[in-house]
Amino acid sequence: MTVTADRYTPPSPGSKIIVVGGGCFGLSTAYALALKKQYQITVFDRQPIPSPDAASTDINKIVRMDYANDTLYMHLAVEAFGLWDQWNKERAKKNLEPVFHQNGVLLLSGKDKLSDFERNSIRNIREAGYGHFIEEYKCPEEIIERFPAFEKAVKKGYNTGYLNKAGGWCNSSEAVKHIYNKCIEEGVQFVIGEQKGCLDKVHCDTKNPNTVVGIKTKDGQTHYGDLVLLTTGSWTAGLVDMHNQVVATGQQVIHFQPPENLRRLWEKLPVWLGDISNTGFYGFPCNADGKLKVGRHHSGYLHPRVEDQVSVPRTQVTNATDTIPISTLREFREFLDHFLPETTNLDITFARMCWYSDSIDGDFVIGPHPQFKNMIVACGDSGHAMKFIPVIGFKIREIVEGRDTEYSHAWAWRNMDAKDTKLDGIRADSLLQRVVLCEPNNDEARMATEGEFKAHYFSSLAPQKSKL
């Protein structure tokens, strides 16, 4: 990698700042920069916001402060709580539903003891003075008494854990809309469209090929700027050489539409994590539309493109019939048959791949790209960024303005080798084994068909063991 000798120069007042990508990082940063009233900010995106194939476009995401020993994110989550509350107040004035639902996050473990992740989370939360958020359960009966809906899960071995009363979930699509509107109110300009809003390549000075002077979009137009921010999520590694610091990985989510009796029971649930550092599974209460979402946070799937083997997202925007791999469908059904067995007789009504920008070590990658002058990358969400959308832009703004902070140090370019890859703390016990999505001659990696999501298929699928 050729690294430019020039040091990063923060934008001066009046600078034109181009933000590529209108998701979590991009909108939050555009809003924070706009509040300074000294930059001209334009956001480019190929899709209407919220983009239908962005990871942030979803019915819900977890808002938690439980980060084991990664206390930087714990404190950032606490800071975000106050802004989530403010957003709810802003929406209430407009007769809009809240975007943050503080109904708690229940972390359950198996084998009669807390996992390392949960034990370290409790310790650090208490040491930081937030012990009043924690409701720890000393025996299985306490969990059942508090959450009768999980009685069967407890009896199947998920019999210890705690509730963090400060956490909950956000309606992530609505949160994206909310900050998009705040950007509009602050004068941020938007260029949207598959041609005019879609990045073709960053545009460099012909005399200084490592100096970025703007972007070129798919319609052939060149847009000049003093600084370019790539906030392109899981697409980033496919747009600029990230030297293996991030990789696009496909994760899986499914929805159920339970009958009224189960809906009434499950709409009162907290967000739950089912021994997540080992299994990867988590879920939510039923939302206002009666949808119950369950997801898996694990090492994920790759989708390498032919020309250079860089993994890029494969979504339902370009592959409308895509669902999730058949092997993962089995794993969902097998897990839920133990944890929430009422789902065994329910059809899965929706399934999709959710694409992470997985960083090499689980930390965000936010800072000047070492190969190019006048370009900052903000990616590496690693599946845990959405909870920070109200506050992350202010931390990125500090990086844009060249300030030396604990966040600029933690998220700076690492130059780590691919062999040193590790998953974020909540996936610490997961096997780092990434399979190629729809890999030829691998039936386990094919997309499940619509009929295989019917409840009656489970009896034939469940006995089969995944080869992953």
Residue 5 lies in a domain: no
Does residue 17 carry a pLDDT above 90? yes
pLDDT in tens, 261-314: 999 999 999 999 999 988 999 999 999 999 999 999 998 999 999 999 999 999
Q: What is the mean pLDDT of residues 423-437?
A: 73
CATH (domain of 360): 3.50.50.60
- Which pLDDT does position 111 carry in this prediction? 77
Please check whether residue 213 is in contact with residue 238, taking contact to mean a CB–CB distance below 8 angstroms. no
Kindly indicate the confidence band of residue 417, based on its pLDDT and cuts at 50, 70 and 90. Answer: confident
Residue 435 lies in a domain: no
Residue 319 lies in a domain: yes
User: Alpha-carbon distance 97 to 303, whole Å?
Assistant: 37
Residue 443 lies in a domain: no
Whether the ω angle into residue 304 lies within 30 degrees of 0, i.e. cis, is no
pLDDT in tens, 283-298: 999 999 999 999 999 9
pLDDT in tens, 146-165: 999 999 999 999 999 999 99
pLDDT in tens, 227-247: 999 999 999 999 999 999 999
User: Alpha-carbon distance 312 to 310, whole Å?
Assistant: 6
Please check whether residue 375 is in contact with residue 228, taking contact to mean a CB–CB distance below 8 angstroms. yes
Residue 292 lies in a domain: yes
Query: Which two tokens mark 164?
Result: 């963090």
pLDDT in tens, 46-56: 999 999 999 99
- Which pLDDT does position 465 carry in this prediction? 40
Beta bridge partners of 330: none
E strand or H helix that includes residue 407 = helix 406-410
The terminus-to-terminus CA distance of the chain in angstroms comes to 34
Kindly indicate the confidence band of residue 24, based on its pLDDT and cuts at 50, 70 and 90. Answer: very high
Does residue 4 carry a pLDDT above 50? no
Does residue 3 carry a pLDDT above 70? no
Kindly indicate the confidence band of residue 2, based on its pLDDT and cuts at 50, 70 and 90. Answer: very low
Does residue 429 carry a pLDDT above 60? no
- Which pLDDT does position 461 carry in this prediction? 46
Residue 357 lies in a domain: yes
User: Alpha-carbon distance 173 to 1, whole Å?
Assistant: 37
387: containing domain: 16-410
Please check whether residue 212 is in contact with residue 374, taking contact to mean a CB–CB distance below 8 angstroms. yes
Among 198-202, 217-221, 434-438, the least confident range: 434-438
Residue 46 lies in a domain: yes
Q: What is the mean pLDDT of residues 318-345?
A: 96
DSSP-derived 3-state class of residue 214: strand
Question: What DSSP designation does 251 have?
Answer: E
Percent of the chain with pLDDT over 70: 95
pTM of the predicted structure, to 2 decimals: 0.94
Rounded to the nearest angstrom, the gap between the alpha carbon of residue 394 and the centroid of all alpha carbons in its chain is 18
Count of domains forming the chain: 1
Does residue 1 carry a pLDDT above 60? no
Residue 147 lies in a domain: yes
